[in-house]
């Protein structure tokens, strides 16, 4: 999320994500994608993915719309 995201928005999104992750269909799909891992492991994976992709995205000057 952008650094300037208000705390109440972060809390709302976090709560919604937590609820979604309890849904059996979401759990099944996460497992199929290999994403059923503890939060610490997921954080490490995100950090690794960021380290991999961020330099490429920046070097290609890719920007988000909006």
- Is there a domain that residue 64 lies in? no
Q: Which residues contact 35 (CB under 8 A, 6 or more apart)?
A: 42
Into how many domains does the chain fold?
1
What is the rounded distance in angstroms from the CA atom of residue 14 to the CA atom of residue 39? 13
Q: pLDDT tens string for the chain (66 positions)?
A: 788 899 999 999 999 999 998 999 999 999 999 888 888 998 999 999 999 999 999 999 998 875
Q: Is residue 28 a part of any domain in this protein?
A: yes
54 found inside a domain: yes
Residues recorded for the chain? 66
Residue 41 lies in a domain: yes
User: pTM for the complete prediction?
Assistant: 0.55
Location of structure tokens 């503890």: 38
Tell me whether residue 47 is in a domain: yes
């Amino acid at each position: 999320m952008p650094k300037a995201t208000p705390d109440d928005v972060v809390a709302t999104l976090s709560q919604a994500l937590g609820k979604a992750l309890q849904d059996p269909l979401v759990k099944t799909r996460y497992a199929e994608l290999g994403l059923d891992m503890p939060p610490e492991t997921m954080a490490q994976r995100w950090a690794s993915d960021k380290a991999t992709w961020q330099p490429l995205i920046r070097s290609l000057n890719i920007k988000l719309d909006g």
